[in-house]
Amino acid sequence: MFMFVGITLAFVFIILAMIIGGGLGAFIDVPSFLIVIGGTAAATIAKFPPKDVGKGFKTAMLASKGRKDISDLNQLVDTTEELLKKTRKEGLISIEGQSSGNDFYDDGLAYMLAAPDAKALERYLSDQIQNVINQAQRGKAVLDALADAAPAFGMIGTVIGLILMLGNLDDPSTIGPSLAVALLTTLYGAIVANAAFIPMAEKISSWQAVTVHEREMIAICLMYIKNGESPMIMREAVKPYLTHDFYKLPEV
Amino acid sequence: MFMFVGITLAFVFIILAMIIGGGLGAFIDVPSFLIVIGGTAAATIAKFPPKDVGKGFKTAMLASKGRKDISDLNQLVDTTEELLKKTRKEGLISIEGQSSGNDFYDDGLAYMLAAPDAKALERYLSDQIQNVINQAQRGKAVLDALADAAPAFGMIGTVIGLILMLGNLDDPSTIGPSLAVALLTTLYGAIVANAAFIPMAEKISSWQAVTVHEREMIAICLMYIKNGESPMIMREAVKPYLTHDFYKLPEV
Amino acid sequence: MFMFVGITLAFVFIILAMIIGGGLGAFIDVPSFLIVIGGTAAATIAKFPPKDVGKGFKTAMLASKGRKDISDLNQLVDTTEELLKKTRKEGLISIEGQSSGNDFYDDGLAYMLAAPDAKALERYLSDQIQNVINQAQRGKAVLDALADAAPAFGMIGTVIGLILMLGNLDDPSTIGPSLAVALLTTLYGAIVANAAFIPMAEKISSWQAVTVHEREMIAICLMYIKNGESPMIMREAVKPYLTHDFYKLPEV
Amino acid sequence: MFMFVGITLAFVFIILAMIIGGGLGAFIDVPSFLIVIGGTAAATIAKFPPKDVGKGFKTAMLASKGRKDISDLNQLVDTTEELLKKTRKEGLISIEGQSSGNDFYDDGLAYMLAAPDAKALERYLSDQIQNVINQAQRGKAVLDALADAAPAFGMIGTVIGLILMLGNLDDPSTIGPSLAVALLTTLYGAIVANAAFIPMAEKISSWQAVTVHEREMIAICLMYIKNGESPMIMREAVKPYLTHDFYKLPEV
Amino acid sequence: MFMFVGITLAFVFIILAMIIGGGLGAFIDVPSFLIVIGGTAAATIAKFPPKDVGKGFKTAMLASKGRKDISDLNQLVDTTEELLKKTRKEGLISIEGQSSGNDFYDDGLAYMLAAPDAKALERYLSDQIQNVINQAQRGKAVLDALADAAPAFGMIGTVIGLILMLGNLDDPSTIGPSLAVALLTTLYGAIVANAAFIPMAEKISSWQAVTVHEREMIAICLMYIKNGESPMIMREAVKPYLTHDFYKLPEV
């Protein structure tokens, strides 16, 4: 949600700067807009299968939905402790049908009951984590490509405008306005890249980091359940995933 | 196919911008075109064996042909389940001559029957996957080099034009047109890089990701057949390759 | 602490340059300031969860606190030697409650007494080190994003100013001042990036290197205590962490 | 050989552009040439031991000599099959003194007879491959450094020229020619980088890829001889190294 | 030593270009110098602990001292052969107190006698090699930061100068000289980066490559002594470290 707030705010600041400077009128030119957006879109279709472009935006939307608070990770550890105690007493089969409220956790529990051994479970969990990384990186690749193409087509539009202006220097009074129009494509390219595509690409990155962090901790929890080890040791093992404050170092 | 559509559309948008701005005439200059294309081609011949340059374009063409839909991966898993059931009953030899409709899958089946052990098969499959990566990266290197060289030679052409113009400032009326011509090489370099070479290089990258994804799943399928493990476990193992939607995270 | 000294000094040099050149007045323009800071902040909110932005700055603050001197590492080795001698005589349990004055060291000792085996301890220590790397990299990502966004929004502000100026060339006397104002956003963006955000991002990097170095040595110390190996061998093993001078090579 | 053809052609295109534009005279300025070449050379001497600079160019020359055709790899596989059949009958000692026409292959055979075990042979082969990578990367580092330094010193020369010109604006008729001369260093820097140093650096890279590909296949051949495995399995194992065409994927 | 020669020569070429162009006078401006050097220094203090900045330069000095010739590596191999023969006859203890003239080699020998097993020795040697890499990279990070900061503060100085000039266009005769002075900071930043900091950073890199190469070969020598393997096999094993010429490939 903050992604949309941030993008909206960035556009608000830019539009305010235009209005304060002298009105929006000087900044609106449909053909300039079409060359930047059209060129960027065309180049993107050439780069990725159309389905992947849609998925790139879908991933950004998903990433914008935010993440659970750190307290949720603590809760998952509590759940793990309970399940661990239960399985150590009553065996793995006793946790069938249990739910933690976290989809990845629950799918892992279900797989655990079917998995032939701990190694198969470990591989399944690491494949699932790799899957998040792969999909996030492919979504980010789409938005990175958009963020690269927009300023490039903006620059192409400006050079086209410059060439047209330079070929018609007869009337000096038109130089300024022609140059102003030529610069519009550069402006559009810079704005859509920096206020929209780059933030969306970065959002996918930061979302990936958080999701992988969560899933890695869950994978550790599930492995401890599978191996039936001591809850206390499990708690120590996941501690690095719950800590968010560094050890303090003294002043030099 | 979409690669060509995208590249064509990008050129259409650029040419439209030129026509709307005042006609194509101002943007056509054969010598400017020759220095950008000739310099870029010459530098590329210097960088890669001629055969590799051809292969780079061939790889981009191949990549543009698109990919099978996700449903095909599901079909390969179904085929794997059938073969797995068969081999568990009748032995590996019973699958001789079977075809899945996927060349990589079929070659793997053939090798499996000849392979001395599971380790040899695993190595063969991972070499084949590495082969796709190597060839894609070498094709991409060619198109990346083209995408780097074109703007550079465009810039060299513009500086040459600037120097010529600055040496002959006697007639001010020629400054504008001379500058316009000087900028043409920059424009040409930017256009061929951003509307053609960069999209082709990126297409190879996105194609590589999809192909490696497919082959990795097939490799897992074949290893399960070789090892004769339970079809249910096989289905769980390939699940991360079939999933395309992330787990949903609640709003912050 | 030196981080703040350095940032302050950088601003002092820049402000001195402004004053010597002709007074600060020409460099103050609130709307220009708002577009750079507002746009940068908005883009950053779009890129990271708000909590992470705060943590990025918090990590930079922590990093600025400096680090223990190399002599402290020597002291930790002395402590390790004592504990090692003690455990070899009286068993691991004898070191319960010991303190080295270093939090990471002490936590490791506590975990060691609870850990089922050396492998669990090794994993715990490596997870803790990875944790520093992850948190430092996420903090650095925030400051890198700020350092990228500020010049970009500065450039956008300047292009907006240029377009407004070019649309109103009627009064030549206003060209200079308008251009001066247009350049202010570029200046603001360059200053906050190079005098504040980039130094903070780099500080986190150099702090990470030092902290990981320290923790890796402590991890080795703790593993030697756990394994009860000879103090002399332990001293040799940590020697690379204490050495700061390269072997001298003769002149060519 | 194609490297020199490409570099020569690139210079031909650039010189043609100059001649068509108005004659070479405007582009020749000895002091401008000296500052770019001298500064670049001086910076390179500062960066690398003089011997390494020579080796960088030597590596580029070697890389320019081209590579064996794919058919040669097939021939090496045929040779391997013969040797494999021989050793399986008559023992490893029977292949003493055999030659394949490929130096790396023959050295490997010689080492194989001396090597205590397969592991020692594997290590030797992988060290030899790593050696190609190390030397290619060090050669490329030299040419990359040259390609970075040339435009930088070109830019320094242009700024020096600009400052000199701006200090003497009294006679407007000299502005153009002064500016033209100032731009010459930028032009020289861009030309030597893009038409010579960058192609040479890239050539080393593409040569490294081909050489490593060849050596990796030879290493596999030699390991199969050492282990005395079936020629058919050996042929399957090297197949990925001989294939240059991807599996065809259907249109989307 | 060549580092200083190269840096000095680069400055000589630049100063010559200034003198030939019209005298050094136009290029000296103390405030411009102070903003570039002061800003760069301040940013660097903010980025690294002061001690690390000093160490960065110290590492560059060390790197500039050059390296032993390849013949020295051959000599170390001869020494290794002697020691190997000796230990195979008289046991490891017989080499106590031997010296090879290379500090790293001798320290390794000393550790070998104390080390409990081959694995401990291998770890010690790889830690020592990693130590060179870590220290070189931290030294390089300092010089890279300087090389990035100098042009950035040069650019900030130029924008400040431009803004001041644009605010006072009343007297056209001052435009040229003001612009010339504004460009001085850009020039200073480009010069110190390209003629001093970048070469020093690169020097550390090339020195690291050579030192790691040497130490890796020594590590192999020492492991062979520890394991008491055949001198002939040892000679083959280090061969890749002594070879500097590639296998020749035939012309295409």
Q: CA-to-CA distance for A5 and A15, rounded, in angstroms? A: 15
What are A29-72's pLDDT values in tens digits?
998 999 999 999 999 999 998 888 998 999 999 888 865 555 68
CB–CB contact B52 D206 (8 Å): yes
In 3D space, the residue among E153, E151, E152, E133 whose CA is nearest the CA of residue E204 turns out to be E133
What are B52-70's pLDDT values in tens digits?
899 899 999 988 886 555 5
- Report the interhelical angle of B2-22 vs B50-64 (nearest 10°): 100
CB–CB contact A46 B199 (8 Å): yes
Residue B249 confidence (pLDDT) above 60: no
The residues spanned by each domain of chain E are: 30-71+119-247
> Which residues from chain C sit within 8 angstroms of residue E45, using beta carbons?
2, 5-6, 9
What's the rounded mean pLDDT across residues E61-81?
80
**A242 in contact with chain C, both atoms CB, cutoff 8 A:** no
More confident position, D184 or E240: D184
CB–CB contact C114 A250 (8 Å): no
B contact chains, 3+ CB pairs < 8 A: A, D
pLDDT of residue A72: 81
Taking all residues of chain A, what is their mean pLDDT, rounded to a whole number? Answer: 87
pLDDT of residue A190: 97
| Percent of chain E surpassing pLDDT 90 | 44
Residue B23 confidence (pLDDT) above 90: no
Q: CA-to-CA distance for D164 and B123, rounded, in angstroms? A: 66
What's the rounded mean pLDDT across residues E161-171?
86
pLDDT of residue C1: 72
Interface test with C, best of E40, E125, E160, E179 (most C CBs within 10 A): E160
> Which residues from chain B sit within 8 angstroms of residue D7, using beta carbons?
42-43, 46
pLDDT of residue C147: 97
More confident position, A162 or B102: A162
What are C74-100's pLDDT values in tens digits?
889 999 999 999 888 888 888 887 888
What are A94-112's pLDDT values in tens digits?
888 788 888 889 888 888 8
What are D138-171's pLDDT values in tens digits?
999 999 999 999 999 999 999 999 999 998 777 7
Residue D64's pLDDT band (cuts 50, 70, 90): confident
Taking all residues of chain E, what is their mean pLDDT, rounded to a whole number? Answer: 87
Residue D247 confidence (pLDDT) above 80: no
Q: CA-to-CA distance for C126 and C138, rounded, in angstroms? A: 18
Write out the two tokens for D215.
């050596």
What's the rounded mean pLDDT across residues A168-196?
90
- Residues 6 or more apart whose CB falls under 8 angstroms from that of C162 comprise A180, A183, C179, C182
More confident position, C177 or A221: A221
Q: What is the DSSP string of chain C?
A: -HHHHHHHHHHHHHHHHHHHHH-GGGG--HHHHHHHHHHHHHHHHHHS-HHHHHHHHHHHHHHHT----HHHHHHHHHHHHHHHHHHHHH-GGGGTT---S-HHHHHHHHHHHH-SSHHHHHHHHHHHHHHHHHHHHHHHHHHHHHHHHHHHHHHHHHHHHHHHHHTT-SSGGGHHHHHHHHHHHHHHHHHHIIIIIHHHHHHHHHHHHHHHHHHHHHHHHHHHHHHT--HHHHHHHHHHHH--SPPP----
C206 vs E38, E47, E163: nearest CB = E47
Query: Among C128-142, C237-251, E113-127, which is the least confidently predicted range?
Result: C237-251
Q: Which amino acid is at E192?
A: V
Residue D241 confidence (pLDDT) above 90: no
Q: CA-to-CA distance for B12 and B16, rounded, in angstroms? A: 6
Q: Which amino acid is at D209?
A: A
Residue D245 confidence (pLDDT) above 80: no
Residue C71's pLDDT band (cuts 50, 70, 90): low
Q: CA-to-CA distance for E107 and E99, rounded, in angstroms? A: 9
Look up the pTM and report it. Answer: 0.90
pLDDT of residue B66: 63
Residue E145 confidence (pLDDT) above 80: yes
More confident position, B104 or A198: A198
**B228 in contact with chain A, both atoms CB, cutoff 8 A:** no
**E213 in contact with chain C, both atoms CB, cutoff 8 A:** no
What are D13-56's pLDDT values in tens digits?
999 999 988 888 889 999 899 999 999 999 999 999 888 899 89
D2 vs B49, B116, B134: nearest CB = B49
What are B161-206's pLDDT values in tens digits?
999 999 877 777 888 888 998 999 999 999 999 999 999 999 999 9
Residue B226 confidence (pLDDT) above 50: yes
CB–CB contact C20 E31 (8 Å): yes
**B9 in contact with chain A, both atoms CB, cutoff 8 A:** yes
pLDDT of residue C162: 94
- HSE-CB at B210 with a 13 A cutoff on CA atoms is 24
Nearest C-alpha of chain A: how many angstroms from B50? 25
Taking all residues of chain C, what is their mean pLDDT, rounded to a whole number? Answer: 87
Instruction: Please name the residues between 145 and 184 in chain C that touch chain A, using a CB distance below 8 Å.
Output: 145, 148-149, 152-153, 155-157, 159-169
| Percent of chain B surpassing pLDDT 70 | 94
Residue that the structure tokens 């230990």 belong to = E87
pLDDT of residue B71: 66
CB–CB contact B42 D16 (8 Å): no
D contact chains, 3+ CB pairs < 8 A: B, E
| Percent of chain C surpassing pLDDT 90 | 45
Residue that the structure tokens 């042929």 belong to = D235
For residue A1, give Cα distances in angstroms to A62, A64, A202.
10, 5, 14
Instruction: Please name the residues between 29 and 88 in chain C that touch chain E, using a CB distance below 8 Å.
Output: 66-67
Query: Among A152-156, B99-103, D210-214, E241-245, which is the least confidently predicted range?
Result: E241-245
Query: Among A24-28, B158-162, C114-118, which is the least confidently predicted range?
Result: C114-118
Q: CA-to-CA distance for C132 and A127, rounded, in angstroms? A: 25
Residue E114's pLDDT band (cuts 50, 70, 90): confident
> Which residues from chain C sit within 8 angstroms of residue A154, using beta carbons?
none
pLDDT of residue A244: 57
In 3D space, the residue among E46, A210, E197, E128 whose CA is nearest the CA of residue C205 turns out to be E46
Q: Which residues of D22-48 are buried (b: 16+ CB within 10 A; e: fewer)?
A: beeebbebebbebbbbbbbbbbbbbbb
Nearest C-alpha of chain B: how many angstroms from D147? 12
For residue B131, give Cα distances in angstroms to A41, B215, B221, D240, E209.
32, 11, 19, 6, 29
Nearest C-alpha of chain A: how many angstroms from B210? 10
> Which residues from chain D sit within 8 angstroms of residue E249, using beta carbons?
62, 65-68, 211
Nearest C-alpha of chain D: how many angstroms from B247? 28
What's the rounded mean pLDDT across residues C52-69?
82
pLDDT of residue E236: 80
In 3D space, the residue among A133, A134, A131, A87 whose CA is nearest the CA of residue A109 turns out to be A87
DSSP label of C182: H
In 3D space, the residue among C113, C108, C79 whose CA is nearest the CA of residue C96 turns out to be C113
Q: CA-to-CA distance for C49 and A207, rounded, in angstroms? A: 9
**C20 in contact with chain A, both atoms CB, cutoff 8 A:** no
A contact chains, 3+ CB pairs < 8 A: B, C
What's the rounded mean pLDDT across residues B97-115?
84
Nearest C-alpha of chain A: how many angstroms from C48? 6
Rounded to whole angstroms, the maximal C-alpha distance in chain A is 93
D166 vs E177, E203, E249: nearest CB = E177
CB–CB contact C18 E160 (8 Å): yes
Q: Which residues of E58-79 are buried (b: 16+ CB within 10 A; e: fewer)?
A: ebbebbbbbbbeeebbeebbeb
Nearest C-alpha of chain B: how many angstroms from D169? 15
**C124 in contact with chain A, both atoms CB, cutoff 8 A:** yes
- Report the interhelical angle of C118-166 vs A175-192 (nearest 10°): 160
Residue that the structure tokens 């090389």 belong to = E147
Is ipTM beyond 0.90?
no
Residue E246 confidence (pLDDT) above 70: no
A236 vs C59, C114, C134: nearest CB = C114
Residue B111's pLDDT band (cuts 50, 70, 90): confident
Nearest C-alpha of chain A: how many angstroms from B97? 30
E contact chains, 3+ CB pairs < 8 A: C, D
Rg from Cα positions in chain A:
26
Residue D66's pLDDT band (cuts 50, 70, 90): low
pLDDT of residue C27: 94
Q: CA-to-CA distance for E236 and A126, rounded, in angstroms? A: 41
CB–CB contact D9 B38 (8 Å): yes
What's the rounded mean pLDDT across residues B105-131?
86
CB–CB contact B21 A48 (8 Å): no
**C115 in contact with chain A, both atoms CB, cutoff 8 A:** yes
pLDDT of residue B239: 81
> Which residues from chain D sit within 8 angstroms of residue E13, using beta carbons?
34-35, 38-39, 42, 153
Q: Which amino acid is at D244?
A: H
Residue E242's pLDDT band (cuts 50, 70, 90): confident
Nearest C-alpha of chain E: how many angstroms from C126? 16
What's the rounded mean pLDDT across residues B245-251?
42
Residue E155 confidence (pLDDT) above 50: yes
Residue C101 confidence (pLDDT) above 90: no
In 3D space, the residue among A107, A11, D60 whose CA is nearest the CA of residue B239 turns out to be A107
What are A109-136's pLDDT values in tens digits?
888 887 778 888 898 899 889 888 988 9
CB–CB contact A202 C155 (8 Å): no
